[in-house]
């Protein structure tokens, strides 16, 4: 074999190996990342005396903010005092730290409800 052929074969082998690493690195990183990722947010279960929320769980999980906005509009704009309020949320979900904050922190969302509505953290009680 000529020297050029040997160098050519080595170059091709190196290029293939580097390409494979570049392609496979993100896959390997994602597998390792999933194994070491933090656990999903733990949300406080409601008190057992409260069997049902004002709406079903899947609705509340994804649309509670819409419901709260509607209630705010009714109270502020129309002067209606509804049966659902932040206080009624507190009856079932007693821990703001383990319920509201746990989920909102996980999605990096700041809520300003508690500037007006009293819902103390455990260490504020």
Report the chain (125 residues): mean pLDDT per 10 consecutive residues: 62 89 82 65 69 80 86 80 75 81 84 75 58
Tokens of 96: 């703001």
User: For the purposes of burial, counting CB atoms within 10 Å of the CB of 100, is it exposed (0-12), middle (13-18) or buried (19 or more)?
Assistant: buried
Give helix then strand counts, H and E, for the chain.
4, 0
pLDDT digits (tens, 9 = 90+) for 21-51: 898 888 777 777 666 666 665 677 776 777 7
Q: Going by C-beta distance under 8 Å and a sequence separation of 6 or more, which residues neighbour residue 19?
A: none
Phi, psi of 54 (to 5 degrees): -65, -25
pLDDT for the residue numbered 57: 80
pLDDT for the residue numbered 17: 92
pLDDT for the residue numbered 122: 63
- Structure letter (DSSP) for residue 44: P
Tokens of 34: 């999933």
């Amino acid at each position: 074999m000529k020297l050029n052929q040997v160098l050519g074969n080595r170059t091709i082998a190196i290029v293939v190996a580097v390409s494979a690493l570049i392609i496979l690195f993100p896959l390997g990183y994602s597998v390792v990342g999933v194994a070491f990722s933090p656990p999903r947010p733990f949300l406080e279960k409601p008190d057992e005396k409260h069997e049902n929320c004002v709406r079903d769980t899947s609705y509340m999980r994804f649309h509670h903010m819409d419901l709260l906005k509607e209630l705010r509009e009714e109270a502020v704009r129309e002067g209606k005092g509804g049966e659902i309020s932040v206080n009624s949320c507190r009856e079932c979900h007693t821990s703001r730290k383990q319920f509201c904050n746990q989920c909102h922190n996980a999605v990096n969302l700041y809520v300003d409800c508690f500037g007006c509505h009293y819902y103390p953290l455990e260490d504020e009680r």
